[in-house]
Amino acid sequence: MISDPNAPNGGASGTPASLAGVTASNLRKDLRLEWRSKDAINAMLFFALLVVVIFSFAFDPTAEESRQIVGGLVWVAFLFAAIVALNQAWMRELRNQVLDAYRVSPAPANALFLGKAVGNFVFISVVEALLVPLFVVFYNLHSIGPTWQLVPVFLLGTWALVVVGTFFAAISLRTRSREVMLPLILFPISIPAVLAMVEATTMILTGTEAPKFWITLLLVYDVVFTTVCLLLFETVLHAE
């Protein structure tokens, strides 16, 4: 007998699964898969480390010059590194056509999206946490503005990259050249967020003025795109 109809929690097939429960289950699964394969983290770390080292030697900037350029360098490094994680996140669902098992289940589509987005947020945050100290060392960085303001910039900026990236990675999943397609559609739409991240980071490091406008822009960007992605993801998931 495969399953017992009298078993607890379960004879009735297709009991609705909660959004929070399935999101947590998807997140646990993605963290477990990444912990075992380390595909995304290793590739992201290697790529971002390369950017830190190469630009450090190429520019050899003074402390003042560093404060001016590091905002751009940091976010370009993380943006390109994030592409690796975003592609990997959905590639796992294509192997063995596992995504089909999710599509035929009654689990909420948004739980898959949220699980992936939060998982990617964790992976990219880990890489950021490991690389920011290296940026400080290699570029001799000393922030003139309040350093704590970098925390909301990094949190909001990383979520901006992750939420839009996870959504567009799902869209490009069924295209033939998905690795090429993702940056092509992600970069243009990320421009407002990247601009805000770079400007806010530079303002904090140089201490020229308060980055309130750019942080607000990031917040609005996050809210708008998170809402749009959640509204549209079910259509993307069930598209052929």
Partner 1 sequence: MYAIFGDNGAGKSTLLRVICGLARPTAGTVHIFGSGDRSAFTGRLGYMGHAPLLYDEMTGMENLRYFAGLYGISDSARCEQAITAVGLDPALARRVGEYSQGMRQRLSLARAAIHDPEILLLDEPFSNLDPGSARAMGRLVAEMRERGKTILVVTHQAAHLAEIADESLWMAAGRVAAWERGIAAADRALASAVLS
Q: Is the dihedral of CA 17, 23, 28, 30 positive or negative?
A: positive
Round the CA-based radius of gyration of the chain to a whole number and report it. 20
Distance CA 83, CA 78 (A): 9
The length of the chain in residues reads: 240
Nearer to partner 1, 4 or 151 (CB): 4
Nearer to partner 1, 104 or 191 (CB): 104
Count CA atoms closer than 13 A to 91's CA, side-chain side: 16
Number of neighbours of residue 78 by Cβ within 10 angstroms: 25
Nearer to partner 1, 2 or 151 (CB): 2
Round to the nearest angstrom and report the end-to-end CA distance of the chain.
Answer: 35
Distance CA 139, CA 67 (A): 8
| Shortest reach from residue 9's CB to partner 1, in Å | 5
Distance CA 166, CA 168 (A): 6
Nearer to partner 1, 10 or 146 (CB): 10
Phi, psi of 208 (to 5 degrees): -70, -50
Residues in contact with partner 1 by the rule CB under 8 A: 1-5, 7-11, 13-18, 21-22, 25, 29, 32-33, 36-37, 92, 95-98, 100-107, 238, 240
Nearer to partner 1, 17 or 155 (CB): 17
| Shortest reach from residue 27's CB to partner 1, in Å | 11
